Amino acid sequence: MDPGVHAPSPPALAMRPHSSSRSGTEPRSPESRLSRKTTTPRSLCGADPPAPLGWARGHAPARNMELGEFERDNAGSCRLGSPVPELCRAEPCCLGIDEAGRGPVLGPMVYAICYCPLAKQEELRSLKMADSKTLTEAEREKLFGMLDGAKEFIGWALHILSPNLISTSMQQRAKYNLNALSHDTAIGLIQHALDAGVQVAEVFVDTVGPAEKYQEKLKQHFPELEVTVRPKADSLFPIVSAASICAKVARDHTVKNWRFPEDLGDVGMEYGSGYPNDPKTKEWLARCLDPVFGYPQFVRFSWSTAQTLLESRAVPVRWDDSEDDPALKGTRSVLSFFARRESSRRQLHRFFHERKLQPVSGL
């Protein structure tokens, strides 16, 4: 860091992320690639039959969500879900996938799957599921209560991706963009359902990026499944509508009950919907910006809304290894390692010399 004053990071605020933070070698599979960025594996991550987790009984799912594990440690990711109905282990099933919270600058992105036997699709239609974006919060909660009431033939699972995980993934040296993160999360949830014993036969997905390419990618991973990727799938296929409702209810609950590990002082919690065009969100982002340490982990640093405010209102920062980052400058030729020339490399700040610190890459 190049500002004149070097203060230690206080416990009250999260550090501003390094735009070229180093990452290790890429894992070989999408599932391992995603899990590498999460915290310790959580509920329902193994191949054993899932434990009876999820919503408490009753008709107020937003108040009874069993999201305590994520809320206690909301810096990584968490997967949880319902018990798998025995009928879904015995009969061919359809499975729908949708997400909530892809666009907001605040809070997590939640991916959800919902599944039921093919023979029960008419009963699913009778529940009158709809795209969650067209419903009020009360309507979404009511519909989720109906899904929960049909647990003898309907199951679901969630994967909650924290804003901190999203930002660090997008800003690491080997960029892991939002589309890739979304695709890998969806693939992981399908595999989770298969590992849990769900007899998945058909998969319906709301598209992320070009539908044809996404569909081909899913077919390559799951050649034995019939995969359909469509724009607006959450309004075309009831099983995707059900997944959309699960994802939206979970995100709404998580955002409303977010536990800040940072001390925000008198900033307040009126942050609106979290979308960049929401006036309340814009005002809250301006209030909670720390000039040195940036934003709390509730904010997605990688969003242009946050980056613009950091550039205009925060202390300018230069990272000492940015000039040597091949991703920024291009790979050096072999001959450059042998040529005699004066070093143009910027010297480390006195702060590092006094403490006998040097970049790991220089050891």
Annotated binding site for a divalent metal cation: 98-99, 206
Which residues does the annotation place in the binding site? 98-99, 206
Phi then psi dihedrals of residue 68, to 5 deg: -60, -35
242 within 8 A of 154, measured Cβ to Cβ: yes
Query: What DSSP state is assigned to residue 163?
Result: H
Catalogue the E-assigned strands of the chain: 77-81, 93-100, 109-117, 155-161, 200-206, 226-230
97 within 8 A of 112, measured Cβ to Cβ: yes
* Sheet containing 77-81: order of strands: 77-81, 155-161, 109-117, 93-100, 200-206, 226-230
Residue 26 corresponds to which tokens in the numbers above?
A: 């890429």
Alpha-carbon distances of 263 from 267, 300, 301, rounded to whole Å: 9, 18, 18
State the DSSP H helix or E strand holding residue 146, giving kind and residue range, or none if neither: helix 137-149
Q: Return the sign of the alpha-carbon dihedral for residues 181, 187, 188, 190.
A: positive
Phi then psi dihedrals of residue 318, to 5 deg: -120, 130
